[in-house]
Structure 1
């Protein structure tokens, strides 16, 4: 009967109303001030903000909005302020800003409760996990010839599997993902898998829901009835269950004290820190391994898919690369990654594939740990920050004919050297740069050269070559890529 008490005491009721009014005015003023400081951008609806207006290919929409509102713009999306950075100089400045290293406080897969992985962590736990991960991966092979030799062995088996097709059309996406998965498996598990038994799963992140953490419960309920959302969580659970089996095997052989892979190194670090309160635990090990696996296998596979698409679309480039193979390596010796310095057009072809495909057009979302600025644009604390790499890679001020596939743009004037432009940022940058960037480049070069060293590739006769993509965090070719691998007769 609190309301009756207020009614019987008009003075107390008036004081309550005055306090409520002051509180509302204060919060309204704070809201308006925050809004005025933010970069300009499109308006949305109450509560949900601009969320209902985000289109399927959000990166293209963000690029168009930048033309209207400027290179850095913002909008309200659910509970979050979202700041989108579309211009290369602003992105480079943001890479150097330590206040923009944090991740959102929600998981990348909504409604799926789990420990945070290295990709999702912020602050000191992220620094510790990243430092240890880089040390382990470097010790077990990153950047070493021994790892390159293992990749070359895997590529040998891959080439043999293509030869066994006897010229029949092959679903390139299916066979390449199994081979690439084995390379990252060697780093993480210490061994590869049979092509029929790979643990690879495509993990699709539905990042739209990250903007509204309060509806995660409803998203989780929806996942029980929506086949696509259900697939996301089931794939992740299946992958982590298989990783658990691998971890158990590693714990059983731990007595040898030999660090052969990431799991070995992490278990050793857990032992070192078992008496301290750290983020090094079994759940985080599973999460890190799953994310390394998905990121290391999926993205390289998708780039190779696009690379094969451009080889088929522009057969003249096959011949140019093959001429470099003939002059540099020949057709008997397997390529080494160091051969790239003598094969400028081949490297230019890889760079142009990375640019025009832009597999990951928007970064894994960042969060501003405190109020900060980029290029004099104010970014409030806890804003979601998005880098639009697609806008940079298609910026006509940076690239001539940006919508055309032109590897020559990455060659110097006389064509004797491949020049990687600073405007090409396929692996993000700064302290959150992809730790496997060099490994991915090694794979791209070795697979490309090995394929063209052995085959002439083409689409099945009568097939219409499709460049159409679907967008689920990564840009994925919509149609399976059927390819004929004709063994070269030299």
Structure 2
């Protein structure tokens, strides 16, 4: 997740807050910062109008372009002379390598370029240079050996929109505020998404979706049902709530999330040319509007409902944990510095991180593994045999069964490898001048981890494009040590916060669905196993499959 990811629509969100009597709630800087951008946009347009009237006739557009290109080219040459930057495909001034990345998956193209230029490559997104790491050796050097050097996140117009100015965990700046929210979230995850709590939520969600699926007699796209299942699990953890599959709020949130994923795609032009945030494209304005609406409905409204019913002696869910943390900080002597990092905006952003990051990656992965089972019936039969032998049909699978469901786990791991949920992960930035793979990486550089390349490296995986679960098993048929190139949760300082929860959650969801159903393609139709996503969200193309209840 997955996802790495608002002008006229922003006003709608602000009006809604004022109408709800919430004026002034976000005086912690978010409103002022975003309002400042809009003010600069207006001032910038006025300034441009004035400049156009005063522009000397001799200063032609042609001369401006030539001067800009020459300046950027000179800057690029000086920078390359100063640093031993990674090699890569030749960029075009101003445009960079964007034309070569048109109409393709970036992660696949980066993997192709790495074969020619080496494991560490430079790619220019317009005038902006990215460092791409394509093998496990250089990824380990960056994320583990030099973890602090690569621990930051970029600050761009789109990340500001997603995070209300960097107030979240996933995209927030590496520092005290980030550590505080990560600690609070880790403690809550351990308490509310482990053991019996996790089992109960998954069993309840699987039962609800199973009742719906058993009534489907025709082939259906699993996406709606998987989304519904995972949504109820995450909602139970975050809000203590579950939904029906035709609930208008559930359907609205799903539509907004899919729309945002589609709008964001491989990124915003404003992130490449930051000046455009003052003259935003239609896509950027739509992203702002949709994100504002989603954060209000799934974040601020839920958070305020919990504030109004909060009981310190009855902590119901993750939202209550956040409110409790703030109240405890307020009561502690000298806790004002901590409280300043626990504003409503900070807490809602943390809530959104847990909800949407956990939701997207889990639903993408579950959709992939269900499609893989329909595509490979002989492998599905082995999963059914193991579950029947270890668990039986009288009770649902439990976390305690996981060590004895090695083949089921191996199938899930192989599906996560081939169907990489977040191909380029979340972009890193360097905190200092550093090196990786013998190349210089200046402070503030954008750095992408090509997880897809790690998962398709022929030097690490025999027949990397084939679905072979046995590659994760040892000679005794048990789950072996994790292959070093299997890195769906990343590593280092910014390793996925929910990894310890996601692994047992995904296993229990998959095992529970396999215990109840056989999935298959309609007669005469082959599964399309290609991706329908982008380099930041990897999910399968729509496929209709048949769900047959197992008796």
Normalised by the size of structure 1, how large is the TM-score?
A: 0.87
Post-superposition CA distance 1:349-401 (Å, at most 9, x none): 01100111112110111111110112322110111000001111111100100
Other-structure match for 1:9? none
Give the Cα–Cα distance (whole angstroms) in 2 for the partners of residues 136 and 173 of structure 1: 29
Contact map agreement 1:101 1:366 (CA 8 A) in 2: yes
Contact map agreement 2:421 2:538 (CA 8 A) in 1: yes
Other-structure match for 1:367? 429
Say if 1:388 and 1:341 are closer, same or farther in 2 by CA, change over 3 A. Answer: same
Say if 1:244 and 1:168 are closer, same or farther in 2 by CA, change over 3 A. Answer: same
Greater CA deviation, 25-34 or 261-270? 25-34
Contact map agreement 1:110 1:216 (CA 8 A) in 2: no
1:330 is displaced (CA, Å) by 0.8
Other-structure match for 1:248? 304
What is the aligned counterpart of 2:138 among 90, 113, 128?
90
Are 2:114 and 1:66 equivalent residues in the alignment?
yes
1:164 is displaced (CA, Å) by 2.5
Greater CA deviation, 323-332 or 120-129? 120-129
Other-structure match for 1:424? 486
What is the aligned counterpart of 2:276 among 215, 222, 227?
215
What is the aligned counterpart of 1:315 among 372, 377, 383?
377
Other-structure match for 1:180? 230
Other-structure match for 2:171? 120
| Mapping for residues 349-428 of structure 1, pairs under 5 Å | 349-428=411-490
Are 2:537 and 1:474 equivalent residues in the alignment?
yes
Contact map agreement 1:352 1:405 (CA 8 A) in 2: yes
What is the aligned counterpart of 1:293 among 335, 341, 355?
355
What is the aligned counterpart of 1:278 among 340, 361, 364?
340
1:25 is displaced (CA, Å) by 13
1:304 is displaced (CA, Å) by 1.1
Give the Cα–Cα distance (whole angstroms) in 2 for the partners of residues 151 and 486 of structure 1: 20
Contact map agreement 1:106 1:213 (CA 8 A) in 2: yes
For the residue of structure 1 that corresponds to 2:392, the secondary structure is coil
Other-structure match for 1:194? 244
Greater CA deviation, 304-313 or 70-79? 70-79
1:158 is displaced (CA, Å) by 1.9
What is the aligned counterpart of 2:208 among 157, 178, 199?
157
Greater CA deviation, 433-442 or 399-408? 433-442
RMSD of aligned Cα (Å): 2.5
Say if 1:263 and 1:107 are closer, same or farther in 2 by CA, change over 3 A. Answer: farther
Post-superposition CA distance 1:309-352 (Å, at most 9, x none): 11111101111111111211111111012212112211110110
Say if 1:68 and 1:150 are closer, same or farther in 2 by CA, change over 3 A. Answer: same
Post-superposition CA distance 1:127-168 (Å, at most 9, x none): 2221222123223x1323222222222112222221232x33
What is the aligned counterpart of 2:124 among 76, 91, 106?
76
Greater CA deviation, 75-84 or 55-64? 75-84
Give the Cα–Cα distance (whole angstroms) in 2 for the partners of residues 28 and 314 of structure 1: 50
Other-structure match for 1:437? 499
Greater CA deviation, 337-346 or 313-322? 337-346
What is the aligned counterpart of 1:261 among 295, 317, 322?
317
What is the aligned counterpart of 2:92 among 38, 45, 52?
45
1:27 is displaced (CA, Å) by 6.5
Contact map agreement 1:41 1:73 (CA 8 A) in 2: yes
Give the Cα–Cα distance (whole angstroms) in 2 for the partners of residues 42 and 452 of structure 1: 46
Say if 1:128 and 1:413 are closer, same or farther in 2 by CA, change over 3 A. Answer: same
Post-superposition CA distance 1:221-241 (Å, at most 9, x none): 4445xxxxx2x4444223211
Say if 1:162 and 1:372 are closer, same or farther in 2 by CA, change over 3 A. Answer: same
For the residue of structure 2 that corresponds to 1:386, the secondary structure is strand
For the residue of structure 2 that corresponds to 1:415, the secondary structure is coil
Gaps of 5+ in 2: 1-70, 331-335
Greater CA deviation, 197-206 or 186-195? 197-206
Contact map agreement 1:110 1:220 (CA 8 A) in 2: no
Gaps of 5+ in 1: 1-22, 225-229
